[in-house]
Amino acid sequence: MILQQLTKEIERRRTFAIISHPDAGKTTLTEKLLLYGGAIQIAGAVKSNKIKKTATSDWMEIERQRGISVATSVMGFEYKDLNINILDTPGHQDFAEDTFRTLTAVDSVIVVIDVAKGVEPQTEKLVKVCRMRKTPIIVFINKLDRPGKDGFELLDEVEQKLDLKVTPLSWPINMGPGFKGVYNIFEKNLYLFEANKQRVEEGLSFDDVHDPELEKLIGDDAGLLREELTLIDGVYPDFEREAYLNGSICPVFFGSALNNFGVKELLDCFIQIAPTPIGRNSEERHVAPEEEAFSGFVFKIHANMDPNHRDRIAFLRIVSGKFERNKPYHHVRLDRKLKFSNPTAFMAQKKSVVDEAYPGDIVGLYDAGNFKIGDTLTEGELLHYKGIPSFSPELFRYVENADPLKSKQLAKGIDQLMDEGVAQLFTGKATGRKIIGTVGALQFEVIQYRLLHEYGASCRYEPITLHKTAWITSDNKAMLDDFKARKASFLAYDKEGRDVFLADSPYSLQTAMEKYPDIKFYFTSEF
């Protein structure tokens, strides 16, 4: 009976991420999906009384100011008796690491592409990670009501730049100012576009595009649509769900998220074809979602979701079994039992306490400092989930206290923000000076801003010449001791107390690696 209930709940769930380059319309698409689920009543893009309400998923103050998403938001909603979890990721390249980690917690991905800009570099990077993991991908080509590239040109670009084999499941009737609508190949429906209309109505059933009725509806564009659909039929493979699920074929949809056009077709197809929660590999074994024993892993930590209460929330992806409130679970790294009295589910920053959750769900756990990214919770079994890396940073600054009276607040703030994985902290062994390393320059601004506004601490940065950091280990103690003695001024330790070599140039890193062959140099923290 328990297994039956578990299987039923797994079948009802879809957990996916929306990824794209900044400004492709990712957050707008997220909002429109939430509208269909009844999770929000008004779209953030709707301008009422000249006041632009900000998007539901961009809730950090700095995001509102800059108009970009810098933290992954988690949102759940119900649609057609299914439980859908969306993770809206930062598009900005300076926050790619947060997005990489988020991709470990989802079962499929929707990639948003701007019709005018086509495939952009950041999208290429993220899709590469999805391909490595064989994550099923759906592409949504957005902003069709604006002038842009030709549909076939965009499909070619997706195939070449993203190395994906595509099959269009909807097709635009004209584009830009002459945009008339979309023919839904998957459902054989015709959707006609009217500008500035928030649409939710059903499409017109249209099995046979050779029917003369088509001319009455779309005029001279009927002939072109027929030609293009014949071409699609001849050139692109038929859609097969199995091929989509193993990552070898990628369905493409066209629409305009801002005008709420093409979004419902995308969602209706998504819930039919997208995978239900899948298992995960741990270091010990593969864990299937249908297993009765609960297990899950932390893929993200966020401090101060509510600045009025200094709370930290660990985001836990449930992999197997059923999670229950107030039940003690085993924290594998700390080797101790923890129980959670108010685990939460999310609707952007609105939170509600959940009594139980199932595989595929993302649960927020209030955290007093027990969790790190990558931690595993189980019912007792010692499992370590793989694939949640920290990368070696590329930019470095010394961080100094700008207000001597607030040194405690600064230390606490830096400590908590580093736990989120926003950046990494290194402490020089010889000098004791603190160095912050990030993947992108914008993160320094975010850290400074959040320290001031969330912890009341002000910091200033000083330049440091560093090329790269590498974690070092060795079984050859004599060689390691010699290295540490000679390179004392280039050594630091990270937040976990592990040894880190601070290479000030590519040459010094290269020579160190050649001169000390028994020392291993690691550039991601998974070792």
Shared-domain flag, residues 195 and 58: yes
Closest of 122, 102, 106 to residue 114, by C-alpha:
122
In CATH, what number is assigned to the domain containing residue 293?
A: 3.40.50.300
Contact 99, 92 (CB under 8 A): no
Report which DSSP code applies to 172. E
Shared-domain flag, residues 197 and 293: no
Shared-domain flag, residues 413 and 472: yes
Shared-domain flag, residues 403 and 512: yes
Place of tokens 């499929």: 108
- The total number of residues written for the chain in this structure: 527
Shared-domain flag, residues 247 and 198: yes
pLDDT value for 66: 45
Shared-domain flag, residues 236 and 310: no
SS3 per residue for 17-82: EEEECCCCCHHHHHHHHHHHCCCCCCCCCCEECCEECCCCCCCCHHHHHHCCCCCCEEEEEEECCE
Shared-domain flag, residues 244 and 300: no
Count of domains in the chain?
3
The torsion angles phi and psi of 421, rounded to 5 degrees, stand at: 80, 15
Q: What single letter denotes the amino acid at residue 105? A: A
pLDDT value for 96: 54
Domain membership flag for residue 237: yes
- Please list the pLDDT of the chain residue by residue as tens digits (527 residues): 577 888 888 899 999 888 887 777 777 888 788 777 665 544 443 333 323 344 444 444 544 454 443 344 677 778 888 888 888 666 445 445 666 777 888 999 999 988 888 888 778 877 887 887 788 999 999 888 888 888 888 899 889 888 888 999 988 887 777 777 888 888 777 777 766 555 545 556 666 666 666 666 776 677 777 888 888 888 888 889 999 998 889 999 998 888 888 888 888 889 899 999 988 888 888 899 999 899 999 888 776 555 555 567 888 999 999 999 889 999 998 899 998 888 887 654 456 778 888 999 888 888 777 888 888 999 988 888 876 666 667 789 999 988 888 888 888 888 878 877 768 899 998 888 999 988 777 778 888 888 888 788 888 999 998 888 888 999 999 999 999 999 988 999 888 888 999 988 888 899 999 999 999 988 776 54
Angstrom distance (rounded) from CA 64 to CA 58? 7
* Domain extent at residue 469: 395-522
- Give me the DSSP letters along 324-367: ETT--EEETTTTEEE--S--EEEETTEEEE-SEE-TT-EEEEEE
Domain membership flag for residue 8: no
Shared-domain flag, residues 53 and 138: yes
H or E segment and range at residue 298: strand 295-303
Angstrom distance (rounded) from CA 525 to CA 424? 11
pLDDT value for 48: 33
Determine how many CB atoms are found less than 10 A away from the CB of residue 138.
21
Shared-domain flag, residues 32 and 135: yes
Shared-domain flag, residues 267 and 288: no
Checking 196-202 for CB contacts under 8 A at 24+ apart, the result is 196/259, 197/259, 198/43, 198/259, 198/260, 199/259, 199/260, 199/261, 200/36, 200/260, 200/264
pLDDT value for 198: 52
Q: Is pTM, for the whole model, over 0.85?
A: no
Contact 351, 344 (CB under 8 A): yes
Checking 4-7 for CB contacts under 8 A at 24+ apart, the result is 6/290, 6/292, 6/321, 6/322, 6/358, 6/359, 7/290
Angstrom distance (rounded) from CA 389 to CA 97? 9
- Give me the DSSP letters along 218-254: HTTHHHHHHHHHHHHHHHSPPP-HHHHHTTS-EEEEE
Angstrom distance (rounded) from CA 286 to CA 384? 11
Q: Report how far apart, in Å, the C-alpha atoms of 218 and of each of 9, 24, 152, 178, 259 are.
A: 43, 28, 20, 11, 19
Shared-domain flag, residues 373 and 402: no
pLDDT value for 226: 81
